[in-house]
Structure 1
Amino acid sequence: MIPSPLTVFFMIIYLLESLTIILQSSLIVAVLSREWVQVKRLSPVDMILISLGICRFCQQWSSVLFNFCSYFNPGSTYRYMSVFWEYTNTLTFWLTTLLAVVYCVKISSFTHPIFLWLRWRILRLVPWMLLGSLLISCVTIIFSTVRHHSEVQLFSMMQSPGNNTVTERLMTFVKNMMISQQMVALAIPFFLFLASTVLLIVSLTQHLGQMQHHHTGHSNSSMKAHSTALRFLAFFLIVFTSYFLSIIFCTMHILWEMKSWFWAGETIIYAIVSIHSTSLMLNSPKLKKGLKVSCCGLEAA
């Protein structure tokens, strides 16, 4: 298959974005691993970030391998490669949600007994929540494997001569099952993320309003910090919501055939992923320091 010039353009952009995400993920893992070695411990947020960095690294490599192998050599063998991408994508959603939950519990000023109980136990709960995210993602991969096996069998049956009416109906059923599974697997962590982020925004907005009502010179720095945090949360919410909607849109419209606009969709999705990773790095003091050190090292070289 010879791609058109426009397709080649989007392929190049997609590759550049993939390399950027791989480098970002590698830097996150390297900086936090060095911190782990030096101080012999990781904070709950750092544990989530290093897990997210490893997951993003594996997800991006699986995306590159599956997309190019399937495009240039379409066949049933490569369909199984997407199962690993679905696993890492689901795990990415749960890790991002876990990060939002931890921030909500630690930063919000709610005094409800549930929040007070979580704030007291969150440090000990994070490792178990990470394990739970892994197990939930493993459950979803079982359904993905069954679905892809059915897809491969139906694809082989459609290549054989004869009446394919029943096969086409089964293929439609598998397509609908794919959409339903992706909706359920991604919607649950996304709505938990949405609830946690909105609660945190509400809490910070209420606190900012109280500080403005009792405005003093001493509170200027706190007000600026709250305003910055609110802007970051709003941006973070928009970016992750865009990623969720992009994945759902592509799941519903790009199923088996590699359309000419497939690479444009991939470019949009991973541009959002790169922006998301960049925002995480720039809002983490440790990662920001590691980024500055890396940049200084490149300039010195």
Structure 2
Amino acid sequence: MIPNQLTVFFMTIYLLESLTIIVQSSIIVAVLSREWAQVKRLSPVDMILISLGVCRFCLQGTSVLYNFCYYFNPDDDLWYIATIWEFTNTLTFWLTSVLAVVYCVKVSSFTYAIFLWLRWRILRLVPWLLLGSLMISCVTIIVSALRVVFFKSHLISMMQLPGNNTKTETLRTFLEKNYVHQFLATSFIPFLLFLTSTILLIASLCQHLRQIRHHDTGHSNSSMKAHATALRFLAFFLIFFTSYFLTIIISTTYYLRYKSYWFWAGETIIYATVSIHLTSLMLSSPTFKKVLKVSCCGPKLPEAPGTARP
């Protein structure tokens, strides 16, 4: 199959974005793993970021492999690659929601009993939350793989019988709709958790910022700058991850043919948001920022005052 010029353009942009994401994920894992080896410990946030880096690396690799293999060999059965992509994508959603929950609990100024209890225990709960995210993703993908194997074997047996074209097409349509519904359910739950946690944290920072404005001192001015920086970061974090979720849902619900340049345009939009989202994740880690500052400016430079650390 020879793609047209517009398709080649979007395919090239998609490939460059994929390489960028793979490099970003590798840097996150390499930098934080080196820090882990040096100090023999990692903060809970950095543990989540390493897990996200590994997931993003695998997710982007399987995306590139599946999209190009299916485009140039549409008759190949690549369901196992799609299953790996679905697993890493589901795990990425859960890990991002866990990261948002940790930020919300540790940074927010709410004094409700549930927040105080979680603030005391959240750091010890992070390894269990990571394990829980992995187990949920494994259960989800096992169910999805069993469903695909069952329906595909049933579909193959029906295709071998004469006069079953209508039933075969009905079963194929049902399989596609079933996949879409399961994907929506498994993605929406962690996304809702992420959305709730991020909105609560933004509301808490806004409330605290209003309280600071009543005390117009030099210290309050630096605190206001730090809070404003944190709010801008959270706003970008919310916008780009929400954009990724919506574009994934739209491209899954309204399936676009791989032969169309619209499919590759959609992939370009999706992974542009992923790259920006990864950049925001890198900037959210105090450990990563410290290593980056030491590498670029030298080890003895002091940290600038008023730096916001969500």
Q: TM exceeds 0.5?
A: yes
Q: Percent identity?
A: 72
Q: For residue 142 of structure 1, what is the aligned residue in structure 2?
A: 142
Q: Is the 8 A contact 1:70 1:79 kept in 2?
A: no
Work out the CA distance in 1 between the residues paired with 2:15 and 2:156: 29
Deviations 1:145-196 (CA, angstroms, capped at 9, x unpaired) = 1333256443785587634111111122112111110110000000000000
Q: For residue 303 of structure 2, what is the aligned residue in structure 1?
A: none
Q: For residue 169 of structure 1, what is the aligned residue in structure 2?
A: 170
Per-residue deviation, 1:218: 1.8
Q: Is the 8 A contact 2:7 2:260 kept in 1?
A: no
Q: Is the 8 A contact 2:17 2:271 kept in 1?
A: yes
Question: Unaligned regions of 5+ residues in structure 2, if any?
Answer: 298-310
1:1-301 → structure 2 map (5 Å cutoff): 1-150=1-150, 152-153=152-153, 154=155, 157=158, 162-254=163-255, 258-291=259-292
Distance 1:96 1:269, change over 3 A: same
Q: For residue 306 of structure 2, what is the aligned residue in structure 1?
A: none
Please give the TM-score of this superposition, normalised by the length of structure 1: 0.93
Deviations 1:110-129 (CA, angstroms, capped at 9, x unpaired) = 11111111110111100000
Deviations 1:184-223 (CA, angstroms, capped at 9, x unpaired) = 0000000000000000001000000000022222211101
Task: Provide the secondary structure at the position in 2 that maps to 1:261.
Answer: helix
Q: CA RMSD in A?
A: 2.1
Q: Is the 8 A contact 2:258 2:264 kept in 1?
A: no
Between 152-161 and 198-207, the greater mean CA deviation after superposition = 152-161
Per-residue deviation, 1:235: 1.1
Work out the CA distance in 2 between the residues paired with 1:257 and 1:133: 31
Task: Provide the secondary structure at the position in 2 that maps to 1:213.
Answer: coil
Amino acid at match of 2:165: N
Q: Is the 8 A contact 1:90 1:186 kept in 2?
A: yes
Work out the CA distance in 1 between the residues paired with 2:39 and 2:161: 62
Please give the TM-score of this superposition, normalised by the length of structure 2: 0.90
Work out the CA distance in 1 between the residues paired with 2:257 and 2:162: 20
Distance 1:63 1:142, change over 3 A: same
Between the two proteins, the alignment pairs up a number of residues equal to: 297
Task: Provide the secondary structure at the position in 2 that maps to 1:142.
Answer: helix
Between 228-237 and 139-148, the greater mean CA deviation after superposition = 139-148
Amino acid at match of 1:175: E
Question: Unaligned regions of 5+ residues in structure 1, if any?
Answer: 297-301
